Amino acid sequence: MHGRYTPFFFVGPGLLLLGIFFAYPLLDTLWLSLHRYNIFTAPVFIGFDNFRRAWGDELFWRVLANTLLYAAIVVPALVVLSFFMALLLDNSLRLIKIFRTLYYIPVVTSIVVAGIIWKWLYNSDGLINAVLKGYGIIGPSWLADARGVPEAFLGLFGIQTESVWFTEPAIALFSVAMVTIWKAAPYYMIIYLAGLQGIPIALKEAARIDGAGGWQVIRHVIIPTIKPYTLVVSIIATIAALRTFGEVYVMTGGGPFHRTNLLSYYIYTLGFKYLEVGYAAAVSVFLLAIILIFAIINFRLAGGDNTTGGA
């Protein structure tokens, strides 16, 4: 056997780094959220004032609503799309490996490059609107339009509406969400693909997408069997969606009228632009709380630890 203290020489360095760059900052977030602090002068203890301030901060509620709305668009879309993409790729065609590789390229594209590409596609005279023009539709200014998607859609048919129910999500938020979906779907597709490849061959072959018979198998055999993977995909996708930053920074800067401002971006601007460090920490605590709530719900739904790959 190894010496009594040997293990601590092994775990020590890693734990030290996690302590400095993870545990301490996490505790510091909680501590800072109770203080007024601007980096230059000493922190002042103000109790729960930062949280009270968030409660009365209209912009905070706007940003929180945006973030939840954004997750509500992105997560279901990712679960569905990545599942069907995986289904499409789960076969032994000769060229299938090439497709698997090509599909994955958006994932390894940096968010800066992806943001630039889509900003260009979304240009009011860009490629997307040129294609729409071919169908006689005048496309909006995708990243700058604060109108609601339902509102604008009804507008296409000449229906004007004042109802607040049609004002969400803003076209710009929807456009940002599309970029996230495009970039992340192939990632979850690979996770699903691993799940599909674990299903016995006999089942899969019956499940080839070849009409109604195939659809029955997908619905009654594959979807139930693949459920643990769906839970993994939805939890990773939810956490990723709630922390989205790069898309907003590169493409919209939170605009128009804060309709694409998401929590991570709000925290960044509060901390580094306005030096409202304490308040930014309080908003971070909200973000953490929301993520933990979603994580717990997901684990409950998963019914135990079969999705964590635990010890």
Q: What residues numbered 51-110 form the site for another protein, per CB under 8 A?
A: 85, 88-89, 91, 93, 95-96, 99-106, 108-110
From the CB of 125, what's the least distance to another protein, in Å? 4
- Options 47-55, 135-143, 149-157, 205-213: segment touching another protein (CB under 8 A): 205-213
Question: Quick one: which of 154, 239, 255, 269 contacts another protein (CB under 8 A)?
Answer: 239
Q: What is d(CA 253, CA 265) in angstroms, rounded to the nearest whole number? A: 8
- Cβ proximity to another protein, 151 vs 183, nearer residue: 183
CB of 264 to another protein, least distance (A): 4
Instruction: Provide, rounded to whole angstroms, the least separation between the CB of residue 15 and another protein.
Output: 7
Instruction: Please report how the helices 171-197 and 58-89 are oriented relative to each other, as an axis angle in degrees rounded to 10.
Output: 40
Q: Which positions from 135 through 174 interact with another protein, judged by CB under 8 A? A: none
The 3-state secondary structure of the chain reads CCCCCHHHHHHHHHHHHHHHHHHHHHHHHHHHCCEECCCCCCCEECCCHHHHHHHHCHHHHHHHHHHHHHHHHHHHHHHHHHHHHHHHHCCCCCCHHHHHHHHHHHHHCCHHHHHHHHHHHCCCCCHHHHHHHHCCCCCCCCCCCCCEHHHHHHHHCCCCCCCHHHCCCEHHHHHHHHHHHHHHHHHHHHHHHHHHHCCCHHHHHHCCCCCHHHHHHHHHHHHHHCHHHHHHHHHHHHHHHHCCCHHHHHHCCCCCCCCCCCHHHHHHHHHHHCCCHHHHHHHHHHHHHHHHHHHHHHHHHHCCCCCCCCC
CB of 293 to another protein, least distance (A): 11
How near is the Cβ of 169 to another protein at its closest, in Å?
A: 21
Q: Tell me: does residue 17 bind another protein (CB under 8 A).
A: yes
- Piece of the chain touching another protein by CB under 8 A; list 59-67, 71-79, 122-130, 141-149: 122-130
CA–CA dist 244, 159 (Å, integer):
34
* Closer by beta carbon to another protein, 164 or else 311: 311
- In the complex, the smallest distance separating the C-beta of residue 155 from another protein, rounded to whole angstroms, is 23
Q: How far is the CB of 209 from another protein (least distance, A)?
A: 8
Touching another protein, residues 211-230 (CB under 8 A):
228-229
Contact residue for another protein among 68, 117, 146, 217 (CB under 8 A): 117
Whole-number minimum distance, CB 137 to another protein, in Å? Answer: 13
Which segment (62-70, 72-80, 128-136, 166-174) binds another protein by CB under 8 A?
Answer: 128-136
Which of 147, 246, 255, 269 contacts another protein by CB under 8 A?
Answer: 246
Q: Which is nearer to another protein, 24 or 55 (CB)?
A: 24
Residue 172 to residues 68, 74, 155, 273: CA-CA distances in angstroms? 15, 14, 16, 23
Total interface residues for another protein by CB under 8 A: 101
Q: Which is nearer to another protein, 91 or 163 (CB)?
A: 91
